[in-house]
Chains A and B, each alone.
Chain A
Amino acid sequence: AQTVTQSQPEMSVQEAETVTLSCTYDTSESDYYLFWYKQPPSRQMILVIRQEAYKQQNATENRFSVNFQKAAKSFSLKISDSQLGDAAMYFCAYRSAGTSGTYKYIFGTGTRLKVLA
């Protein structure tokens, strides 16, 4: 069974600085997708960035980028120029490509990011 581990329950970053959130996963599959979702307090989860496992190039979305290391099964999220609005719970998630017949996400336990003014 696949697992997702986020070992940092909480992180803090100064406004305008850069922070990296860690995520490791375990799977025996070769084709899958990885995601980072943001959950602000009392608000819905929003997709931040996604990575297809077959792509070697790391995904980038504006200030958000990932460091995808497939062999190490590592998927970290880097937030550059942190803003107060980035404060939220961040979840790493895994999804099979579907060849195993499942489309569910497997989430980590989350990292709470605090942005200090």
Chain B
Amino acid sequence: DTGVSQDPRHKITKRGQNVTFRCDPISEHNRLYWYRQTLGQGPEFLTYFQNEAQLEKSRLLSDRFSAERPKGSFSTLEIQRTEQGDSAMYLCASSLVQTYGYTFGSGTRLTVV
């Protein structure tokens, strides 16, 4: 296992389209997190899962955003009806319950045109 994988690395989409990103965490990690990072800013928390349960969601996660982690393995983040303000880097990270350091993926850069 080489770390946290995110797919795709880059996504360009037209405003109004739906997009879905995938994150594969380190296999034994039971916590999975999604963050959004815009240019010149630090990452902002979106949501996190412990196994398959989504335990916390940020107010940033509007109704157009949904995340799933079926069977506690990989996770998907879907954005419906994309807007230009959704353009950002979407970061996934994973960790074990008993640790407090994350392992981050390389991110998916979304550009909405």
Q: Which residues of A contact B (CB under 8 A)?
A: 4, 33, 35, 37, 43-47, 50, 91, 93, 95, 101-110
List the 7 closest A-B pairs by CB distance, nearest first. A107-B42, A104-B45, A45-B104, A44-B106, A44-B104, A47-B101, A33-B100
Q: Which residues of B contact A93 (CB under 8 A)?
A: 42
Q: Which of B33, B43, B45, B101 contacts A50 (CB 8 A)?
A: B101
Q: How far is the CA of A100 from the CA of B91 in the complex (A)?
A: 24
Q: Which residues of A contact B104 (CB under 8 A)?
A: 37, 44-46
Q: Is the interface of A mostly helix, strand, loop or mixed?
A: strand
Decide: A50 and B40 in contact? CB cutoff 8 A. Answer: no
Q: How far is the CA of A103 from the CA of B48 in the complex (A)?
A: 8
B107 interfacial by beta-carbon distance below 8 Å: yes
Q: How far is the CA of A54 from the CA of B29 in the complex (A)?
A: 25
Beyond A109-B40, A110-B41, 11 additional contacts (C-beta under 8 Å) are: A4-B42, A43-B106, A44-B4, A45-B43, A50-B100, A103-B31, A103-B48, A104-B48, A105-B35, A105-B43, A107-B44
* In the complex, residue of chain B having the shortest beta-carbon distance to the beta carbon of A35: B101
The count of chain B contact residues (Cβ–Cβ below 8 Å) is 24
* Contacts known (A43-B106, A45-B91, A102-B56); A91 close to B43, Cβ less than 8 A: yes
Q: How far is the CA of A5 from the CA of B3 in the complex (A)?
A: 29
B42 to chain A, nearest CB (A): 3
Q: Which of B45, B103, B106 contacts A105 (CB 8 A)?
A: B45
Q: 11 A–B contact pairs at CB < 8 A? A: A4-B42, A44-B106, A47-B103, A93-B42, A95-B100, A102-B56, A105-B45, A105-B102, A109-B42, A110-B40, A110-B42
Q: How far is the CA of A76 from the CA of B3 in the complex (A)?
A: 28
